[in-house]
């Protein structure tokens, strides 16, 4: 373990203080934060720009509107309820089907209509929002993840996190839900993080609870060597998100739907740093090289290609 950490230090790992001072404060204007902290606003922006996102079924904004919940979902057997200003996956309720007058959660539990309306009320009260402020409840399409992930995911949808700096993809990892994370793709809650080779789109190394692993802790399936579908499209999509919100240092979370392909799930103005551990390579040298570039390609596809080229150079 100590040898592993020493290699990370030698590869130029970016720490939290450096991330905040050199990249977030310098490249992310505070006035732009609401564009990513508000998931509803992000969704509207993406849709207007032609960027694919999970379909929005409805929004509940005030307590009086909670009674409209049955009408919003009457044509949908499955759906997701989430807070507009939530973080870390908190407050998300995934409904995978129905049984009589009850709603089945992804963990198999059955909820009554009253249970769900109580949960929506908690969202509105700000129980899950940043800073505890009053919030909105979004009801949207439930992603059906790509079959590629069936053996390396436990009761949840994996997502792919890409760090984008000055519009250029820098590092990627896929976050795989586990029993410990309760089916959520959140590393702090116990999900697995697997690094991805930017050139090939294949998974490389993996971590779980900050320790290197080779197999998924619940399924036992090998994690490395998975070829992510639509890889170049996914990188281009991540680069497009820089144009969407104007943040210089950005985390882009994308899910792969088995029918719809890549969908942007959310954006993050303060993305974490565990992606370096998952890839067993620091980002410092690559970020410094991009910071010194005098010209950045205007087209997102060209920036995706540049990201791959810089990634390859950084391997040597």
Closest among 273, 279, 274, 238 to 255, alpha carbons compared = 238
Q: Quote the pLDDT of residue 2.
A: 47
Q: Are 163 and 131 in contact (CB under 8 A)?
A: no
Q: Where residue 292 sits, what CATH number does that domain have?
A: 3.30.470.20
Question: Do 205 and 308 sit in the same domain of this protein?
Answer: yes
Q: Does some domain include residue 47?
A: no
Q: Does some domain include residue 50?
A: no
Closest among 184, 176, 186, 175 to 152, alpha carbons compared = 176
Question: Do 185 and 164 sit in the same domain of this protein?
Answer: yes
Please name the residues in contact with 1: beta carbons below 8 A apart, sequence gap of 6 or more.
211
Q: Does some domain include residue 33?
A: yes
The pair of structure tokens assigned to 111 is: 């909820």
Question: Do 189 and 211 sit in the same domain of this protein?
Answer: yes
Q: Are 280 and 171 in contact (CB under 8 A)?
A: no
Please name the residues in contact with 109: beta carbons below 8 A apart, sequence gap of 6 or more.
none
Question: Do 187 and 114 sit in the same domain of this protein?
Answer: no
Choose the final residue of a domain: 97, 113, 140: 140
Q: Are 76 and 102 in contact (CB under 8 A)?
A: no
Q: Quote the pLDDT of residue 46.
A: 97
Domain extent at residue 127: 55-140
* Burial classification of residue 167, based on how many CB atoms lie within 10 Å of its CB (0-12 exposed, 13-18 middle, 19 or more buried): buried
Domain tally, the chain: 2
Q: Are 80 and 89 in contact (CB under 8 A)?
A: no
User: 145 pairs with which residues across the strands?
Assistant: 257
Choose the final residue of a domain: 140, 161, 194: 140
The tens-digit pLDDT sequence of the chain (316 residues) is 545 555 655 668 999 999 999 999 999 999 999 999 999 999 999 999 999 999 999 999 999 999 999 999 999 999 999 999 998 788 999 999 999 999 999 888 999 999 999 999 999 999 999 888 999 999 999 999 999 999 999 989 999 999 999 999 999 999 999 999 989 999 999 999 999 999 999 999 999 998 999 999 999 999 999 999 999 999 999 999 999 999 999 999 999 999 999 999 999 999 999 999 999 999 999 999 999 999 999 999 999 999 999 999 988 6
Question: Do 90 and 23 sit in the same domain of this protein?
Answer: no
Q: Quote the pLDDT of residue 6.
A: 59
Rounded to two decimals, the pTM is 0.93
Q: Quote the pLDDT of residue 24.
A: 97
CA dihedral over 165, 170, 174, 175, signed as positive or negative: negative
d(CA 253, CA 172): 10
């Amino acid at each position: 373990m100590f040898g592993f950490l020493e290699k990370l230090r030698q590869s130029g790992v970016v720490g939290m203080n450096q991330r905040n001072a050199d990249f977030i404060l310098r490249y992310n204007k505070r006035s732009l934060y609401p564009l990513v902290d508000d998931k509803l606003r992000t969704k509207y922006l993406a849709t207007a720009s032609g960027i694919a996102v999970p379909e929005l079924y409805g929004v509940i904004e005030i307590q009086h509107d909670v009674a409209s919940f049955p009408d919003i979902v009457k044509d949908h057997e499955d759906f997701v309820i989430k807070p507009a200003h939530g973080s870390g996956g908190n407050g998300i309720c995934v409904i995978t089907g129905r049984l009589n007058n009850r709603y089945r959660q992804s963990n198999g539990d059955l909820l009554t209509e009253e249970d769900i309306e109580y949960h929506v009320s908690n969202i509105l009260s700000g129980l899950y929002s940043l800073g505890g402020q009053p919030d909105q409840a979004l009801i949207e399409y439930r992603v059906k993840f790509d079959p590629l992930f069936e053996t390396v995911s436990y009761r949840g949808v994996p997502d792919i996190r890409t760090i984008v700096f000055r519009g250029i993809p820098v590092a990627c990892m896929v976050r795989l839900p586990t029993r410990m994370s309760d089916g959520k793709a959140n590393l702090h809650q116990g999900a697995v993080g697997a690094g991805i080779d930017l050139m090939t789109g294949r998974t490389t190394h993996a971590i779980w609870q900050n320790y290197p692993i080779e197999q998924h802790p619940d399924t036992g399936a090998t994690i490395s060597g998975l070829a992510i579908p639509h890889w170049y499209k996914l990188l281009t999509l991540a680069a497009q998100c820089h144009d969407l919100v104007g943040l210089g240092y950005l985390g882009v979370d994308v899910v792969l739907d088995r029918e719809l392909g890549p969908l942007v799930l959310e954006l993050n103005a303060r993305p974490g740093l565990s992606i370096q551990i998952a890839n067993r390579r620091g980002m410092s040298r690559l970020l410094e090289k991009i910071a010194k570039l005098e010209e950045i390609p205007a087209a997102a596809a060209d920036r995706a290609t540049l990201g791959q080229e810089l990634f390859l150079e950084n391997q040597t």
